[in-house]
Amino acid sequence: MIPASFDYRRASNLDEALMMLSDGGDDAKLLAGGHSLLPLMKLRLAAPSTLVDIGRIPDLSYVREEGDALVIGALTRHRDVETNRLVGEHAPLVAHVAGQVGDPQVRHRGTIGGSVAHGDAASDLPAACLAMGATFTAVSPSGTRTIDSSQFFLGFLETALRPDEILTEISVPKATGAGWSFQKFNRRAQDWAIVGVAAVRGDRTGVSLVNMGSVPVRASAVEAALAGGADETEAASHASDGLEPPADLNASSEYRRHLAKVLVRRALEEARAA
Amino acid sequence: MKVSMTVNGARYDHDVEPRTLLVHYLRETVGLTGTNIGCDTSSCGACTVLVGGESVKSCTMLAVQADGADITTIEGLADADGELHPVQEAFREKHGLQCGYCTPGMVMAIVSLLKENPHPTETEVREGIEGNLCRCTGYHNIVAAALYAAESAKAGAA
């Protein structure tokens, strides 16, 4: 399978990338690790006229402490997030989840920014960002803005990023010492989660769901129940409140609702015990 | 677009269409057909090569993305005088293959795994090759080969 033809532009810095993106018109796409985009292009589900390769922009791959937050450059590869000492110490959920994406080959190429910007309800890292209360930095020719993760995922593969914006940084509030859990239910190694749950329990509590709708979502009803004093089993019973989980070859909607309830309870128990 | 890269120590310069996948470039332009194409959907790992020493599925990378990179394929593992790489030797010793189709990708994935984790447990090996599918062996002898290669390296270093 070979992608449809496209114009290839390689950006050597962020300003150049922004310019190339604007020049590329409405269906220009950014290429980072390419592990979400290229499979879609090979299946001809995506056929951008221009690809702007940002994979070589040197200063967008990093992990730094900034006060109470850990900031991760958008081009940081999953493998580097997985093994980074700072992420392991202050956001172990994120490190663990980065290590659950795809397989080692995918993690060598795929980037955290690419995964977030792709906005797939079935992918793991957006859920981890939601549970951690992460914020995303986007840069465009008109300036820089910060978008809360809970406002970022708008619809099926659709995010709050405007066509002229580039996601540059993921800021994760430190959750040093907090309990956490990631429950990924799938039938085969390397598969997408049929349902997944990310949970953090510490100074702040965050619970989010993978593959339970058209977007990665916070389990708001679970969070509210916990805040209201519900026990874990009671809180977990609200796992799919207000959600319309998809039905596909792997699972019916009803089965996903069941899985969400079970996995949220397990996640809450594990995050408490941690 | 012009690309130049090092493949198994030799430099190659070619003009490629931007949509050319690295695996097609390696097989059809460079002429190294040891890297197989299996599923074509980033699932099976048959096309695994090393890019800068790390395992990558070459069906999910454009040749233009590999411009300037240092690539190693299965053909680049053995010595110039034909002595097998320890992981290849381990596959032979432990009978880690049957039909052989997944083998080049398996070997490259295990070379990368052992570079990151020279002394893996059996579980770490099994998780480390989760991106490579084999339909013949049931994986048992592949895992045995990876562990044998790690042991031999340890013995060699001692």
The ranges assigned to domains in chain A are 7-53, 61-173, 181-273
Are the C-beta atoms of B139 and B126 separated by less than 8 Å?
yes
Q: Positive or negative CA dihedral for A254, A256, A262, A264?
A: negative
DSSP-derived 3-state class of residue A6:
coil
**Please, which residues bridge with residue A218 across strands?**
A208
For the segment A243-262, the average pLDDT, to the nearest whole number, is 97
Residue A117: predicted pLDDT: 97
Phi and psi, residue A192, nearest 5°: -65, 155
pLDDT tens for each residue of B18-31: 999 999 999 999 99
Q: Look at the domain A181-273 and name its fold.
A: Enolase-like; domain 1 (3.30.390)
For the segment B121-142, the average pLDDT, to the nearest whole number, is 96
Residue B137: predicted pLDDT: 92
Among B40, B65, B135, most A C-beta atoms within 10 A, so best to mutate, is: B65
pLDDT band of residue A26 (cuts 50, 70, 90) is: confident
For the segment B84-107, the average pLDDT, to the nearest whole number, is 97
User: With pLDDT > 90 as the criterion, what percentage of chain A qualifies?
Assistant: 95
Whether the predicted pLDDT of B158 surpasses 70: no
Taking the CA of residue B100 as centre, how many other CA atoms within 13 Å lie in the half-sphere pointing to its CB? 5
Residue of A nearest to B128 (CA): A104
Minimal C-alpha gap between A223 and chain B (Å): 33
For helices B103-116 and B86-93, angle between their N-to-C axes, nearest 10 degrees: 120
For the segment B112-134, the average pLDDT, to the nearest whole number, is 97
Rounded distance between C-alpha atoms, residue B155 and residue B158, angstroms? 5
Of B21, B55, B113, the CB nearest to A2: B21
Average pLDDT, chain B: 96
- For residue A149, CA distances in Å to A75, A197, B37 come to 18, 16, 38
Whether the predicted pLDDT of A274 surpasses 80: no
Residue type, A57: I
Whether the predicted pLDDT of B85 surpasses 90: yes
- Between residues A273 and A17, which one has the greater pLDDT? A17
CA B153 to chain centre: 18
pLDDT tens for each residue of A160-216: 999 999 999 999 999 999 999 999 999 887 789 999 999 999 999 999 999 999 999
Of B56, B65, B132, the CB nearest to A108: B56
CB contact under 8 A, B65 and A5: no
Residue B153: predicted pLDDT: 79
pLDDT band of residue A227 (cuts 50, 70, 90) is: very high
Whether the predicted pLDDT of A273 surpasses 80: no
pLDDT tens for each residue of A118-144: 999 999 999 999 999 999 999 999 999
**Please, which residues bridge with residue A197 across strands?**
A183, A209
Which domains does chain B show, CATH number per domain?
Answer: 2-76 (3.10.20.30), 86-157 (1.10.150.120)
Q: Positive or negative CA dihedral for A114, A116, A117, A123?
A: positive
Total residue length of chain B: 158
Residue of A nearest to B69 (CA): A56
Of A2, A4, A39, the CB nearest to B60: A39
For the segment B70-79, the average pLDDT, to the nearest whole number, is 97
User: With pLDDT > 70 as the criterion, what percentage of chain A qualifies?
Assistant: 99
Whether the predicted pLDDT of B80 surpasses 90: no
Residue B156: predicted pLDDT: 60
Taking the CA of residue A221 as centre, how many other CA atoms within 13 Å lie in the half-sphere pointing to its CB? 15
Taking the CA of residue A97 as centre, how many other CA atoms within 13 Å lie in the half-sphere pointing to its CB? 35
Is the domain A7-53 a CATH 3.30.43.10 member?
yes
Are the C-beta atoms of B18 and A7 separated by less than 8 Å?
yes
CB contact under 8 A, A108 and B55: yes
B57 and chain A: CB distance < 8 Å anywhere? yes
For the segment B74-98, the average pLDDT, to the nearest whole number, is 96
Identical fold for domains A7-53 and A61-173, yes or no, is no
- For residue A190, CA distances in Å to A69, A102, B23, B43 come to 30, 5, 21, 8
CATH of A61-173, one of 1.10.10.10, 3.40.50.920, 3.30.1360.100, 3.30.465.10: 3.30.465.10
pLDDT band of residue B155 (cuts 50, 70, 90) is: low
For the segment A4-24, the average pLDDT, to the nearest whole number, is 97
pLDDT tens for each residue of B41-55: 899 999 999 999 999
For the segment A221-233, the average pLDDT, to the nearest whole number, is 97
pLDDT tens for each residue of A233-249: 999 999 999 999 999 99
pLDDT band of residue B7 (cuts 50, 70, 90) is: very high
- For residue A139, CA distances in Å to A147, B24, B39 come to 11, 35, 37
Residue A137: predicted pLDDT: 98
Where do the DSSP E strands lie in chain B?
2-7, 10-15, 48-51, 54-57, 70-72
Strands A179-185 and A69-73 turn out to be unpaired
Of B1, B51, B60, the CB nearest to A35: B60
Rounded distance between C-alpha atoms, residue A134 and residue A71, angstroms? 9
- Set of chain A residues whose Cβ sits within 8 Å of the Cβ of B29: none
